[in-house]
Amino acid sequence: MPLDTKTTGFKYIGTRPDRPDGIDKVTGKARYGADAYAPGMLHGVMVRSPHAHARIKKIDATKALALKGVKAVVTRADFPTGLEGEDWNIQENCMAGEVALYDGHAVAAVAATSLLLAREAAKLIEVEYEVLPHVTDVDEAMKPGAPAIRAGAADYSVPEGLHPNVMRYIEYGHGDLEAGFAAADLVMENTYKTEATHQGYIEPHACLAQLGSDGKGEMWVCTQGHWFIRRMSAAVLGIDVANLRVTPSEIGGGFGGKTTVFIEPVALALSRKAGKPVKMVMTRSEVLRATGPTSSSSIDVKMGMKKDGTMTAAKVTMRMQGGAFPMAPIDSALDCAFSCYNIPAVHHEGYDVLANRPKQAAYRAPGSPMAAFATESLVDEMCRALGLDPLKTRLKNASREGTKASFGPTFPRIGLVETLEAAIAHPHYAAPLGTNQGRGVASGYWMNWGGETSVSAALGEDGSVTVSVGTPDIGGSRASMALMAAEALGIPYENVRVNVVDTGSLGVNEPTHGSRATYATGLATIEAVKQISSKLCQRAADKWGIPAEAVIWEDGCAKPSGPNAGEFPPLTIGELAAEMGSTGGPISGHFEATPSGHGGSFGTHIVDVEVDPETGHTSVLRYTVVQDAGKAIHPAYVEGQFQGGAAQGIGWALNEEYIYGADGRLQNTVFLDYRIPVASDLPMIDTVIVEVPNPGHPYGVRGVGETGITPPLPAVANAVHAAAGVRLRSLPMSPPRILAAIKAKG
């Protein structure tokens, strides 16, 4: 795709205007998932398995249905059969079939005239279970004798002889590994473990669904991607996608967790059965028990290094459980494991394993934080052993343009070196530290994503422009799109209105995921509004009686392209728009693509912590994020992504974890015990935006949403080591673990 790339001399790009949806969101007017109501609406409540693994012998809803005001009960029997592949997985996850596969797995649902009544009815639905043996730990799930969760479901890639819980096996690499290790002065190998975490969005899943017996339906839902919701819901229910119109609400956080369906097809099924709209809103406990947390992981990493810090070879073996369904993100985890470094010989191996836990969903750079925790911890340990500066050692080995990436291809223009240089030069890196304090650094990578994208732009009669996009605005993307449209058209930011529209109003769009919205929707927005300006040039040319090629678009005006084109005063967008009905009709632009020049984003973080040697408590004292944004369209929201990613990574490193009891039940199902960072846990988070323009975007944008969660896990572990003299190779580094390590050290 030929792109008219521009990386300097911007008028609007790089400024920090107020976001267009700001007032709605500070006054309580913005409507989120649970803020919708419909006439005659019923409330739906799910019945969930209290067992980690159990055969469903019988479901009896007689007592529930006898309650006045209870309108429908659905079970798996109300869904079509014969689905295959991921469609079947999604259906099975939304409503258990023969076996409940994890604590919290939905087994039935009820709709009633009030929420209180629906809750009461749900308690009256009697489910008879035969409890089966369960396994929740990834390493345990691969051992002989572990209960097979779904025998015979492994794909082509799994060699014979592995436990039936292994769903996929991946192996790749390049270079001579043995020679590489032989050439090293130091070879180290360790095992690292990370526990599952949750995206922790503050807004629970919510939807308002209506489906008729004719298969025509509508849904209001908080989601990162309503076309995904449409496709998955339609598949689970066996209806046509075009018959289901999905409107996205404002969304209260997603981080990958709102890219799939949980309650949506069930609400539609209840609505179809009851003949009325049904609203379903998850409780926080349901969100934690039964949506899509991350995988937990167990990782072996081995690396060879010369005395001067040169990396000679590296090998990683990654085991991940993604719940009772395949598709734990081993692929991206492996690709990110050594992506920061130019290592002559690398080898990757990965196992995708089933366990009796909820089906994992994407969480911000899926797989990359776990991989970085292992690799970047090991690099730090090796730098310590060899007495090397950890940032300079990273710089020495850093991937750059032309490096053969650890996952195969040659890197195009990337910005890791620039982030490392900025981190080394940052005053934070040289600042003094006190007693029990330590500093850690780490780098991280996310490859980003382009994805299916459609954007429409329409010119208004007064010269203002409406842009219709399909990627929900989770963190200020309306502002970024408006800035790019304003820049491309040369009109004020305020004259662009960006709307996130429903599935009936635009072609297919993938969700706001994969750090793709500013990149892909931005690219499509620029191309769509450029169609408007080129049409306006044509109108001006017609008016002036000169060829369209002789007209250029500049500063919001059509102008003759030079003296040879003739002398005409510029025509403004407003003048041209006012006449468009009589000069050829309405003007709009449309662009659709699956752009693939997204380019990856690298980041380097510096963190200072203080560890209380008597309690193992870790305080984060200072934090700096350095990351390549390609070009920061709205720098305030880029900084926000950096800071938010760092905060989530700190939570993952220190206190967040899924805790399963011996009974296979999740023990921490509320925010009181699922401990995400609170305001008093964190310092200000300093940011440095590095801009190495991405040649794959007209303005050089790289996605920035995900990379920021990757370095904190190892950076904090490295800082804890520096502060307390102990190396924690299992996350979270909760106080009991740190104190035990300190005591073991003596």
Partner 1 sequence: MRYHTPATFENASAIAAAASGVTRFLAGGTDVLVQMRADIVTPDDLIDIKHISGVKDIVQEDDKCWSIGAAVAGAELTAHKGLCADWPGVIEGMGLVGSTQVQGRATLIGNLCNGSPAADSVPGLAAAGAEVSVVGPKGTRQVKVEDIPAGPGKTTLAKGEVISGIYLPPRGKGGGDAYLRFIPRTEMDIAVVGCAVNLRVEGDTITEARVVLGAVAPTIVVVEDAAKALIGSTLDDKALVALAAAASAACRPINDKRGTIEFRKDVAGVLARRAAKIAYDRARGAK
Partner 2 sequence: MVKVHLWSGLRRFTDGADVVELEAKTVGEMMKALVEAHPGLDPVIKAGVSVSVDGKLIARGLHEQVSDDSEVFLLRQLKGG
Partner 3 sequence: MTQIHVTTTVNGDEVDFLADPRETLLDCLRDKLGMTGAKEGCGTGDCGACSVTVDGRLVCSCLVLGVEAQGKTIETVEGMAEGEKLHPLQRKFIEHAALQCGICTPGILVAAKALLAQNPDPAEEEVRYWLAGNLCRCTGYDKIIRAVLDAAAEMREGV
Contact footprint for partner 3 (CB under 8 A):
16, 18-19, 21-23, 25-32, 34-35, 37, 115-116, 199-204, 250-255, 281, 283-284, 474-476, 634, 636-637, 639-640, 643-644, 646-648, 670-672, 676-680, 682, 684-685
Please give the single-letter amino acid code of residue 663: D
d(CA 237, CA 158): 31
Q: Is residue 321 within 8 Å of residue 299, measured between CB atoms? A: no
**Residue 613 C-beta: closest distance to partner 3, Å:** 23
**Residue 286 C-beta: closest distance to partner 1, Å:** 11
d(CA 421, CA 243): 54
Smaller CB distance to partner 3: residue 77 or 202?
202
**Residue 150 C-beta: closest distance to partner 2, Å:** 17
d(CA 276, CA 267): 10
**Residue 661 C-beta: closest distance to partner 1, Å:** 8
Using CB under 8 A as the binding criterion, the count of chain residues that bind partner 1 stands at: 29
**Residue 654 C-beta: closest distance to partner 3, Å:** 14
What region, left, alpha or beta, does residue 452 occupy, with left being phi > 0 and alpha being psi -120 to 50 degrees?
A: beta
The strand pairing partners of 347, in sequence order, are 173, 315
Sort strands 126-131 and 54-60 into parallel, antiparallel or unpaired. antiparallel
Asked if 448 interacts with partner 2 (CB under 8 A), we say yes
Asked if 706 is an active-site residue, the reply is yes
Asked if 126 interacts with partner 1 (CB under 8 A), we say no
**Residue 19 C-beta: closest distance to partner 3, Å:** 7
Asked if 197 interacts with partner 2 (CB under 8 A), we say no
Q: Is residue 382 within 8 Å of residue 394, measured between CB atoms? A: no
**Residue 594 C-beta: closest distance to partner 2, Å:** 5
643 binds, among partner 3, partner 1, partner 2, none (CB under 5 to 8 A by kind): partner 3
Smaller CB distance to partner 2: residue 352 or 487?
352
- Dihedrals phi, psi of 731, to nearest 5 degrees: -100, 150
Smaller CB distance to partner 2: residue 49 or 199?
199
**Residue 200 C-beta: closest distance to partner 3, Å:** 5
723 binds, among partner 3, partner 1, partner 2, none (CB under 5 to 8 A by kind): none
Secondary structure element (H or E) that encloses residue 605, with its range: strand 601-611
CB atoms within 10 A of CB 464: 17
Asked if 282 interacts with partner 1 (CB under 8 A), we say no
Smaller CB distance to partner 2: residue 248 or 514?
514
Cβ neighbors of 693 (< 8 A, separation 6 or more) are 5, 7, 413, 630, 631, 699, 700
Strand ranges in 18-174 using DSSP code E only, listed in sequence order: 42-48, 54-60, 70-74, 99-100, 106-112, 126-131, 166-174
Smaller CB distance to partner 1: residue 15 or 283?
283
Place of tokens 């996952």: 407
Asked if 93 interacts with partner 1 (CB under 8 A), we say no
451 binds, among partner 2, partner 1, partner 3, none (CB under 5 to 8 A by kind): partner 2
Q: Which of 155, 401, 494, 673 binds partner 1 (CB under 8 A)?
A: 673
368-386 and 635-654 helices cross at what angle (nearest 10)?
70
From first CA to last CA, the distance across the chain in angstroms is: 62
- Binding to partner 2, residues 407-436 (CB under 8 A): 407-412
Smaller CB distance to partner 1: residue 589 or 616?
616
Residue 41 CA: distances (Å) to CA of 73, 111, 209, 266, 271: 15, 10, 9, 15, 9
Can you read off the two tokens belonging to residue 255? 């981080």
Burial per residue of 260-299, b for 16 or more beta-carbon CB atoms within 10 angstroms, e otherwise: bbbbbbbbbbbbbbbebbbbbbbeebbbbbbbbbbbbbbb
Contact flags string 305-344 toward partner 2, x per CB under 8 A: ------------------------x-xx--x---------
Three-state secondary structure call for residue 716: helix
Smaller CB distance to partner 1: residue 285 or 505?
285
Q: Is residue 665 within 8 Å of residue 52, measured between CB atoms? A: yes
Asked if 677 interacts with partner 2 (CB under 8 A), we say no
410 binds, among partner 3, partner 1, partner 2, none (CB under 5 to 8 A by kind): partner 2
364 binds, among partner 1, partner 2, partner 3, none (CB under 5 to 8 A by kind): partner 2
Q: Which of 603, 677, 693, 714 binds partner 1 (CB under 8 A)?
A: 677
Three-state secondary structure call for residue 270: helix
Q: Is residue 626 within 8 Å of residue 418, measured between CB atoms? A: no
| Residues forming the active site | 706
What are the residues binding partner 2 (CB under 8 A)? 155-157, 169-173, 199, 254-257, 259, 329, 331-332, 335, 361-366, 407-412, 446-451, 513-516, 594, 596-598, 696, 703, 705-706
Residues lying near partner 1 in the complex (CB under 8 A) are found at 119, 123, 283, 285, 614-617, 619, 654-655, 659, 667-668, 670-673, 675, 677-678, 680-681, 734-736, 739-740, 743
